[in-house]
Every structure is written in C-alpha cells, then in structure tokens.
Amino acid sequence: MAKDNLTKSADLKVSPREIDFVTRFARNWEHLREILGIMRPIRKEPGAILKSKTATLVLQDGNIPEGDEIPYSKAEIHETPYQEMTVEKYAKAVSIESIKDHGYDVAVQQTDDAFLFELQSNVTSRFYSYLNTGTLRGSYSNFQMAIAMAKGAVENKFKKMHRTVTGVVGFANIMDVYKYVGSAELTIQNEFGFQYLKNFLGFNTIFLLSDDEIPQGKFIATPVENIVLYYVDPSTSDFARAGLSYTTDGETNLIGFHTEGNYHTAVSESFAIMGMTLFAEYIDAVAVISFTGPSVTPPAPATLKELTVTSAAGTASGTTKITVTPAKASDGLYKYKVADAAQEVTYGQNVKTWTAWDGTSDITAEAGKTITVVEADKDYKAVGSGTATVVSNV
C-alpha cells in the first residue's frame, strides 16, 4: 500500500511536454541574448506602445561674457510609435491518424520542434524587417568598406549622444560573407537556429541571414546597447481568471504553452501565447549600408609579360642552373612558384611552398625542360603564368 501524500501521475497538472517546450524556448532566447550582449528582457503590459527614438541637440555658443546668462542647448528626443504590445495566439493539432501512421515522436515531437522554431523565427524576422528601416544610410563599392563604415557610423552616432558603445552587432547575407572570405575556413557557430560569427572584422557578432531576411548587397549594424527585448508575461493572473492556464518557464515567462486532447475530433492540440518584440530603441543608430560591387575586388587575371632567363651554367650531373626574372605585380601582393611540365623543379630550398618573390631566383632544371612560373594572388590562387625553355650551355 502506497504511503500517504505520495504525488501520483494524476496529480501532475502540467505535462512534461509543456515543460520541455517552454524550457527550450526560454533557453534559446537566453542564448540569443548572450550572443547579442543585451540585458535581460523588459516586461511590458499588454497595450503598451513601443516607440522608436531619434535624438538631436543644437549646441549653443559657449563664449559667454562675464555675468551673462548661459543659454540652454536645445536637446530633443523625437518618438515615433512602432507597435503595440499584444498577446499573439497560436495553435497546432495532430490527429490520431497521423500518430498511427508516423508514430508519436514524429507526429507530435517533431511538429512541436517545428512549432517552436517558427514562433522564434516570427520574432526575429520582424526584428530584421525593422532594422531595414534604420536611418543611417550609405553606399560603398565593396563588402569590406560597407561593414567598416557601418560600424563607424553607429559608433559615431552613439558618441554624439554621449552613450557608451561596448560592442557592435552586424547582420549580413550569408552569401556576401562567403563571397568575401572565398574558400577560407570560417568558424561559423550554428546554435538554437542562429548562424553567426564571433569577433569578425571588429564586430562582436555578425549574424548570417538568408535572402528572405536581408538581401545580398546590404549590411546592417547597430550597437548592442541599442537592442532591447520586450515581452508580455503570459502567466498574468488575468488569463487564469479567464479560465486559461498556460505553462511558463517560471523565470522570464516569454511564452505560455498548453496541450490537451480534443475528444470531439480525436486530435492532440497545442496552444501557445506570446507577446515578444525584439527592438532597436534608436532607429537613427541603425546603419543600413549597401554595396554595389563584389564582396572583394579580385586581382585581374594576367599573363606574365616577360620571363627572362639568364646566367645559365652547366653541372656535372647534366642539369643546368639558371636564373629567371618574372615580371613583378605592381601591388606587391603577388607570389609565385616554379614548375616544369612534369613536376616542380628545385630552386634552392623548398619548391613545394608558395614563396614571396624577391625579383630573382635560381632554378635548377634539366636541359630541354620548360620552366613555368605561376603568378598567384595573396590567397595563392593562380592568376597568370609565363614559361621559358631551359637550354644547356655545358
């Protein structure tokens, strides 16, 4: 016989499925806040109006005669209503036929995962759309210049507002980033549905977004201090008084989730309510920079104009030691290597590595072989070559 006061399964009013859902949702957003570097979410009441702000100040002349009254410098904060904090309602249902055909884990658990992801994406997608309305605008010729100027623009704006910038967050199309780095290895972190780079080109974080979220040829940046997460607490007593009870994570309470079986239609129903807005408080501290050219300007393909062969000298082994002088790239960034038609030839030390060109190099190759000098860019990609045939002077 069971002891008194034992908690039985019938006494558990909240299902493990509900607890798992809200816990994972809260953990995802906690992780996003850590990535962004923003403070804890700020609770708002339903109906509160979020307003974007722009700040201006007209500084008066500071050369005031002795005894005269010092004039005030005119400071203004202009507010533009952005949206009202509301409670959004969502529902999902899975039929017993789906559970029969696919099993519980697929029909219920996997659709719960998709439900969570779409709810999360709904908040971030609206945030990305809002960022696109930033008023710090500019256009530059390439990706690197665009992101550098975006970072400078938002830092300059916050300095004018006498606000501290501890870091800047960027938002880029993933294809633009890959075009910029080419074939280089990137340490891209992919967690909780977010792809991002840490400490890339001076940014705390750069989020990699799809074409649907930010078009190619555009880069967005804002200080981390400008980003705020507002939410409506779905555990408010007014909902409970209305007969609606939702499971929350018990800390920030960003989302409410409830599951129940509908015996009238033989489906498993899921209900979610949330009121979340990821928001950039000062819209004039959001830089939206476009660039018209490629992510980087690649070196123009070229053929070496000349390959001078001098100082031929025979050796006892039947090889000929020569000196070649390939044309040097004007920007000094090019490198070269040496090879014959069949294999790389020796010229001093290690021929298997790319070597910065010093203007003249000694090469040892058999008489009658063709020497090929390959010109490469700073990333060791071949862009041109020149050849010369070794003749024996023995």
The CATH code belonging to domain 13-58+77-291 is 3.90.1690
What is the pLDDT, as a whole number, of residue 172? 92
Q: Indicate the SS3 state at residue 25.
A: helix
Fold matches, 13-58+77-291 and 307-389: no
**pLDDT tens string 164-197:** 888 899 999 988 888 887 655 667 887 767 888 8
**pLDDT tens string 252-288:** 888 889 888 888 888 888 888 888 888 888 888 999 9
Map out the domains of the chain as residue ranges: 13-58+77-291, 307-389
The CATH class, in words, for 307-389 is mainly beta
Q: How far is CA 161 from CA 50, 226, 227, 285, in A?
A: 20, 12, 16, 10
The mean per-residue pLDDT over the stretch 299-309 comes to 49
Band of the pLDDT at 141, cuts 50, 70, 90? Answer: confident
Look at residues 390, 358, 388, 360 and name the one whose alpha carbon lies nearest to residue 373. Answer: 388
Residue bearing the bigger pLDDT, 337 or 149: 149
Alpha carbon of residue 158 to chain centroid: 22
Most confident of 100-109, 188-197, 221-230, 327-336: 221-230
Look at residues 305, 320, 310, 309 and name the one whose alpha carbon lies nearest to residue 386. Answer: 305
Alpha carbon of residue 138 to chain centroid: 20
| pTM of the model as a whole | 0.62
**pLDDT tens string 200-256:** 888 888 999 988 889 899 999 999 888 988 888 887 756 666 777 888 887 788 888
